[in-house]
Structure 1
Amino acid sequence: MERWVGKVAIVTGASSGLGAAIAEALVKQGLIVAGFARRKERVEELAKKLEGAKGKLHAVKVDITKENEIIDGFEWVKKNLGPVHVLINNAGVARTTSLIDGETQKWKDILDTNVLGLSIATREAVKDMRANNVDGHIIHINSIVGHRVINYPGVNAYPASKHAVTALAETLRHEFIHNKLKIKITSLSPGHVDTEFQKAAGMKVDPNTSFSKIKGSNPEDIANGVLYVLGTPPHVQVQELTIAGIDEPY
C-alpha cells in the first residue's frame, strides 16, 4: 500500500455502510480520500472522527444519478486535491418491487445508480488518469448476485444491474488492454453484509426463512478486501474477488 500514500482516491456512496468503511480504511493507510455522497454531512462526521489519521477525508456532495454532479465532483477533486489514482465505485441501491407489475421509477433508480452512475464516474476517473499519466486502479463494488441470481423475493432489476457491473468491469479491462493502459480494474463481489442497505431498499427479511439466520460479513471485511486488491504489485491484477460469510449457502 506504500505507493498509494498521499495519493487521491474517490469513494462513491461514502456516507454509510461499505463506502464509509472503505473510506476510513483508505484514510488510515495514508490516502487522500474524496467521499462522494448525497448526505455530505455524514461524510463530514466521519472526517472529524479520522482527524489525526495518516491520510485525510474530504466530503463532496454528489448524487451519483446526476451526471452534472459527478462531473462537478471530479472537477472539485482536480482543483483541490490533485490527480485521481484510485476510484472505488461503491454507490449502489436496491428497491423492493417486482418485474411482473413493478414501478418503473424504482427500476430507473437501480439502473441510474448501479450502472449509469458507475459508468460515468469510471469515465471521468479514466479521463483524469490518462491526462496525468497515472497507472491507477478502479474497483467496482459488485455483488454475488452479479454472477448468479438468488431466489429472494422483491429483487427485480437489482441482479440485472449487478450482472451489468460484471460485464462492465470485463469490457473495461479489454479496453485498457486495447489502449495499452496500465490502469487496473477489479470487480469485488460481497455476499450478505450487515449494513443499512436492506433497510434503505425497503426489504424485509422473513424471520422464518434461512436468509434471516445468515451472519455474512461486516463492512470492515469488505474494506480489507479493497486494501488487499490495492496492495498487489503493479504487474498483478485481481480481476474478480468474492467475499462472503462462511455460512452463506448461495
Structure 2
Amino acid sequence: MERWSGRVALVTGASAGIGAAVAYQLQDHGVHVVAVARRAEKIEEAVTQAKKDAKNRGRYHETKVKPGKLYAKKCDLAKEEDILAVFRWIKETLGGVDILINNAASGTDLGLTEAPTENWKLMLDVNILGLSICTREAVQNMRSRGVDDGHIVHIGSVVGHKVIDADGAMYSATKYAVRALTEGLRKDFVEHKSNMKISCVSPGVVRTEFINNLPKYRTEDCLKWPGLHSEDVGDAVLYVLGTPPHVQIHEVIIKPVGEVL
C-alpha cells in the first residue's frame, strides 16, 4: 500500500457501513480520500465511528505513515450532475483521482410483482449507471493526466453470483451487471494497452445500515445469521490495492463462516 500514500481516492456511499470503513482504512494508509454520499454531513462522524468500531473489535491495524486527508462531499449517485460536479471539484482542488471505490448502492426487499417502479429505477440509476459514470469520469481523468497505474474497485455482492430469493431479484440483477461491467472494463484496459486495474469485491451478509433498512432481514432469525463487519470488506479492498503491478485480483468473494444464504 506504500505506493498509494499521498495519492487520491474517491469512495462513494461513505456515510455508513463499508464506505465509511474503506475511507478510514485508506486514510490511515496515507491516501487522501474524497468521501461522497447524499448525507455529506454524516460522513466524518461515520468514518470516525467505523474506526472506533474496528478498534473495539480488535480489528484496527496501526500504520506508520502520515494519515491522508478526508474530504466529505455531497453527491447523489442517481444524479449525473452531482457526479460530474464532484469530479470537477477533484480536478480543480486535488488534480485528479487515482483510486475509485464504487461502493454506493440502493436496494429493496420488495418482489418483482409488487415493487413500485421508482424502487427499480433508483437501483438501476445508482447501482449501474452511477457506478458506470463514476468509472468513466475516473478513467478519463487518469488518462488525461498520464496516470496508468490507477485502480477501480467495484463493491459487488454474493447475490451477483446467485439469486437468493424472488424479493431480491432486481437487486441481484444489478449486481450481476456489476460483474459484467468489471470484465468489460478489464477488456477495455487490455484494448488500450493500459496497466490500470479493475477488481470486484463481493461480500456476503455484512452487518451494516444497508441490510438493517430492509424489513425482511430484521426478523429474529435473520439477525442471528453469521455476518461480516465493514472492515472485513475494507481489508479485501486493501488487499487488491496492495498487489504488485503485474497482479490483478479480478474478483474476490467474502463470506462469514457459516453463512446460510
Shorter-chain TM-score bucket reads over 0.9
TM-score by length of 2: 0.89
Change beyond 3 A, Cα 1:159–1:46 = closer
Deviates more, 1:92-101 or 1:17-26: 92-101
Aligned counterparts of 1:65 and 1:139: Cα–Cα separation in 2 = 19
Whether 2:36 is the aligned partner of 1:22: answer no
Q: Deviations over 1:118-173 (max 9, x none)?
A: 0000000000011111120000000001111113x621310000000000000110
* Structure 1 residue 33, shift from structure 2 partner: 0.3
Q: Map residues 144-163 of structure 1 onto 2, 5 A cutoff.
A: 144-151=158-165, 154-163=167-176
Query: Which position in structure 2 is the counterpart of 1:100?
Result: 113
Work out whether residues 67 and 117 of structure 1, in 8 Å CA contact, stay in contact via their aligned partners in 2.
yes
Aligned counterparts of 2:26 and 2:95: Cα–Cα separation in 1 = 16
Query: Which position in structure 2 is the counterpart of 1:220?
Result: 231
Aligned counterparts of 2:216 and 2:31: Cα–Cα separation in 1 = 35
* Structure 1 residue 98, shift from structure 2 partner: 1.2
Whether 2:17 is the aligned partner of 1:5: answer no
Deviates more, 1:36-45 or 1:162-171: 36-45
Q: Which has the higher helix share?
A: 2
Work out whether residues 23 and 47 of structure 2, in 8 Å CA contact, stay in contact via their aligned partners in 1.
no
Q: How many residues align?
A: 246
Percent sequence identity is 48
* Structure 1 residue 202, shift from structure 2 partner: 4.1
Query: Unmatched 5+ residue regions in structure 2?
Result: 52-64
Query: Which position in structure 2 is the counterpart of 1:143?
Result: 157
Work out whether residues 47 and 57 of structure 1, in 8 Å CA contact, stay in contact via their aligned partners in 2.
no
Whether 2:32 is the aligned partner of 1:32: answer yes
* Structure 1 residue 200, shift from structure 2 partner: 2.7
Q: Deviations over 1:177-230 (max 9, x none)?
A: 01111110001000000001123344444334xx44322210010111111110
Whether 2:260 is the aligned partner of 1:249: answer yes
Q: Deviations over 1:89-118 (max 9, x none)?
A: 000010231112321011111111100100
Work out whether residues 93 and 201 of structure 1, in 8 Å CA contact, stay in contact via their aligned partners in 2.
no
Amino acid in structure 1 at the alignment position of 2:9: A
Query: Which position in structure 2 is the counterpart of 1:171?
Result: 184
Aligned counterparts of 1:180 and 1:196: Cα–Cα separation in 2 = 40
Change beyond 3 A, Cα 1:212–1:48 = closer
Query: Which position in structure 2 is the counterpart of 1:127?
Result: 140
Amino acid in structure 2 at the alignment position of 1:243: I
Amino acid in structure 2 at the alignment position of 1:230: L
Aligned counterparts of 2:193 and 2:34: Cα–Cα separation in 1 = 28
Aligned counterparts of 2:66 and 2:40: Cα–Cα separation in 1 = 20
Whether 2:254 is the aligned partner of 1:240: answer no
Aligned counterparts of 1:224 and 1:6: Cα–Cα separation in 2 = 19
Q: Deviations over 1:19-78 (max 9, x none)?
A: 00000000000000000111111113357788x961111001100000010000011111
Amino acid in structure 1 at the alignment position of 2:206: V
Query: Which position in structure 1 is the counterpart of 2:61?
Result: none
Aligned counterparts of 2:142 and 2:254: Cα–Cα separation in 1 = 28
Query: Which position in structure 1 is the counterpart of 2:62?
Result: none
Work out whether residues 10 and 101 of structure 2, in 8 Å CA contact, stay in contact via their aligned partners in 1.
yes
Query: Which position in structure 1 is the counterpart of 2:77?
Result: 64
Amino acid in structure 1 at the alignment position of 2:137: E
Query: Which position in structure 2 is the counterpart of 1:80?
Result: 93
* Structure 1 residue 249, shift from structure 2 partner: 3.1
Change beyond 3 A, Cα 1:212–1:43 = closer
